[in-house]
Each structure stands twice: as structure tokens, then as C-alpha cells.
Structure 1
Amino acid sequence: MSTSNPPASAAVLAARARWARQRRRLIGYGQWDPFMPAEPVRAHLKALAAVGMPRKGVEQALRLQPDALRHVTSGTYGYEPGKKVTREIGQAVLGFWPVLEDFPDSATVDPTGTRRRVEALAVVGWSRAELAKRAGRSYCSFKNSLRFDRTSVPLAKLVVRLYDELWNQRPEDHGVREWVAERCRRQARAAGFYGPLAWDDDLIDNPSALPQTDAQVSLLAQGENLAARFLLGESVILDAAARREVLLHLMEWADLTVEQVAERLEMTEAAVSRAWERAKEKAREEGRTVPWRRAYVPQQLCEAVAAA
């Protein structure tokens, strides 16, 4: 493994743990085969390349040696692409689908999530001119970059940072003139943009996802203490802030797996893991106690105790 690559993400570590468990199980059954067909891996690498993740980016994200996948995609030393690949590497690749943080800065990605975040911030009152100013870019450069069929990874990451910082902040509270913010809101409404509450973090980047429109937010989403009422079993619709609060409570205090938390909140496991890691990182940055899984007991440990 290369020591120059960044630490593996939670999703990568989970994939490796699944592979290790499967390997031990198959060895115990006498069915372990260290190799697997390369064609499914090659097809998956092509699909990753189509969304902007190059082979070298996959190797870096999975913390593989440089050119570890070269024999799968193009062959090496004059030989044709290989027909076999080690099972460890093959399953790691097949179980990998990148989030934005995995892409190298030289890559480009689908612009859907970037545009939706800018539009959602416009509903709140943040104009593109103000976002460009906060991003340290010229207004024309920022505006024009949103028109392309692909978005550079640095720009996409920059917009994510702005969105996470400003989605629940009134521009008037940060030095923006009231008439400027109100004009931005009016133009956003006229353009049919959707605000932050219409998008879940795990859906906003998906081009096929549909927004949760205001028509779906009824009396069930009104009132205070939405998170507490949801945890007590009341049928309420969580806004983004309440959903985040419930997620952190369940991850820290409930004896639930990530899969179970995701199912309860109707999210993907990847989105739950991202939100949990983001909360821990924010706590570290602010010097607060980092949340940890106080109540969760892995099933393997329960089985071991029961068998003892």
C-alpha cells in the first residue's frame, strides 16, 4: 500500500472489513479462490471513468499501489488486459462508488449537485455575486462555470462548503443588504428553484432525484422539537436540521447499525456515514467532545458473549 495516499474513507474501510470476513468464511469452507474474472472489474472501472473518476483516482481512493489496476484496463509490458484479478482488489473496486471527496482535483463531475446548491442558496437569499465574493472568485468566472456540462472538482467542493455553511443563514445577518437578499429570493421563486429543505444530502447530487416540494410539507412538519417528537414516535416530517439531529442521536445513543439508521431515516448508508464523519470532524475543529457510538454493540460481539 502507498503511504503517500490519504486515509481511506469509512466506506472503503467497511468494504475491506466485508471482504476480510468473506475470505475467512470461504477459507473455512475450503472454497477460497484468490482470483476472480477481471471483466466485471474492467466494466466497473469504465463506469467510474464515465463519471469523471480515472483509474489513478480509484487507486488512490482505495490506497492501492500506483498502476495496480493498469493490467485490468490496458495491460502491461505489451500484454493484453488481464483475464483475472486478485479477489481482494476486484471486490474492493466493485464495492467502490466515489463521493465528491474521492475525486482528484484534476477531474470533472456532473454539475447537477453544484447547480442545485447554488439555486437552493438563492431561495434563501444568497446571490451568485455574494457567493462568488465569499469563494474568492470573480462574479463572471463563478457564473459562467455553472453553465458547463461538467464542473471542476475544486468548484464543486467549494460550493459544497458554501452550502454547508450558509443553507440556514439569512444573508441580512451577514452584511447583505435586505433589498438585495429579497430581490434574490424573488428571482429564485420566479425561476422555480427549490430551497435546501427540498433536498436530502444523499439526493441532491443525483440527477434523477426529485425534490421534496413544499406541497409535501404539511402540518406534520410544523411546530417545534421535530427531532424529539420523531424519536418519541410521532409522525412528523423532518426538515434538514431535525433530520441531522435525529441521525446524530441514533448514531451516538442507539444500538443500531448504520444500515438500520439509514432505513429509519430513509437515507442511504453512505449518506449516514458521511453525516456522522462530518459531525465528528466539526466537533474536532471546534474543540468539542467528539461524538462516539456509546450504545452500539456489534453483532459479532453479542454472538461471542452468548457463546461464551
Structure 2
Amino acid sequence: MTLREPPHHETLTCYCDYQCRLPDCVQRYRAWENNRYHAIANGTWQPLLDAEPIRQHLLHLHAAGITIHRVATITGLTYRAVRNFTQHDYGNTAPRKRRVTREVAAKILAVNTRDHTPGNVDSTGSRRRLHALMAIGWPLLYTAQHAGIHPSNRSVIVARPTIRAATAQKITATYDELKNRKPARHGIRPTSIKRAKQQASANRWPPPAYWDETGAIDDPHFEPMYRVTRREIVAHDANWIMRTTGVSREDAANRLGVTKSYIDHAFRDHPEYAVEVAA
């Protein structure tokens, strides 16, 4: 079985769910285990709590207009971590969390309708979801309408840095519903499917499978490397090194661990990065 690459190495998730064995991650897990054993021995261990009160609280917030995206923004938790407590509007594609740590429970329960109102969230995840659906043939016009978005606003959504949290949640619900379906079976014309795929391919927008693999669709700091070749990466890095330090291609090649000829070919294939700074 091929294991997925962890989306990050900041929690125990990479060790437990992805079988990551980087030294820092193993040390973090062992430290957690030691603390747990000592806490059990001292009678201070606090087991996981039932997540049902969290689910009910999130549904209450949602009814008041505070979306999953908004809760994630307020608490500092990831969107996926919050969403997994409830399947509201998301079908049965993933198991719902049944247990929760006291720390996470406290963060979510602290969100209330008095102190927090519906607001804006980062549009990165929504934009990537719309583009990912295009990569498998869903036209932007269709997905926008399916999400209850006026057609005239669809281009605004993918351009703005932030959008309404309620709009983001509608897009997420549409994405979860359509990402495993074939457009041709739902009345989308072949020409529209082809056009959507061609636009996505030209812009190198990753499909849903890529985002399922990385788990970083909502992370604005994650730079997708979908269909990016090693030669393009070298051209990009060499461009940056030469512009910022003023070194020659040969020196840049030494820093990158490649030959000058490799950089020459990389710049030839990707002239947008080609630069001559030093002789």
C-alpha cells in the first residue's frame, strides 16, 4: 500500500495516520506517549471527550449563520478538523469524529453567536475547489449555479482574496458533492467538458485527487506543484539565486547541485525565468 505524504509535520497526525517516521515526528510521538503514561500513573490523565456536544454546537452556530469556515478562522483550527465533527451539508463521504480532546472542545465551544458574527474567509480553498472541478470537466458556470451563486459573481469569487464564509461553505458542499461524479452523466455537454478541462490544463489546476492526496486545499501557504517538472523548478530557483545574489549561471548551478548545462537547458525550456546577471 502506498502511503500518502503528510500535509504537515506539526501534530501527531503524520505519525499516527501517515506512518511518518521522521526523527522529529517520532520524538514528538514518544514525548506524547511518555506524558500520557506519567499522567495515567499520577491519576491526572484526561481521556478524550464525546464529540456529540461539539457537533450540536456547530449545527447551532451554522443555523445562526456562523459557518464551518468561520469557526475554523476564529479557533485557529483547520477547516477539515472542524468539518469532521459534523456531516451537515456534506453527505456521508467521511466518518464523523466521535471523540475530541479537551483543548479542541474548549476552542470550539468558546465560539458563540453573541461575540462572533458571520464574516469573510480566505478564498484560496474555494478558488481551488472550483478549479479542481474544472479539471475533471465541470464548467465554472455550472458549479457556481449549483452552489447558489449568481453567474455574474463567479469570476469575482476566484479573484477576490476573501469571500463570505457562507459562500465558501456552499462551494465546499458543491465540491464534495460533484468531485466523484462524471459531468457527462449529469447533462453537461461534451464541448463544455472539453473546454473546462482544457482551461484547467493550461493553467495547471490540480484535480480533486491531487488535493485529496495533499490535504492542503485550504492552506493559502501551500504552493501546489502539480505537473511542475524538475527542470522548471531549477529554472525558477536559478532565476531567484541569480537575481538576488548576482552570481553567474555556473555558481547558481553549483548551489543547486546541477550542471551549468542543465540550467542552460532549463532556461531554454522556460524562457520566462531566463536571466543573465554575471558573466
Specify if TM > 0.5: no
Indicate the structure whose relative CO is greater, using CA pairs within 8 Å and at least 6 residues apart. Answer: 2
When the two structures are superposed, what TM-score results if normalisation uses the length of structure 2? 0.41
Q: If the length of structure 1 is used for normalisation, what is the TM-score?
A: 0.37
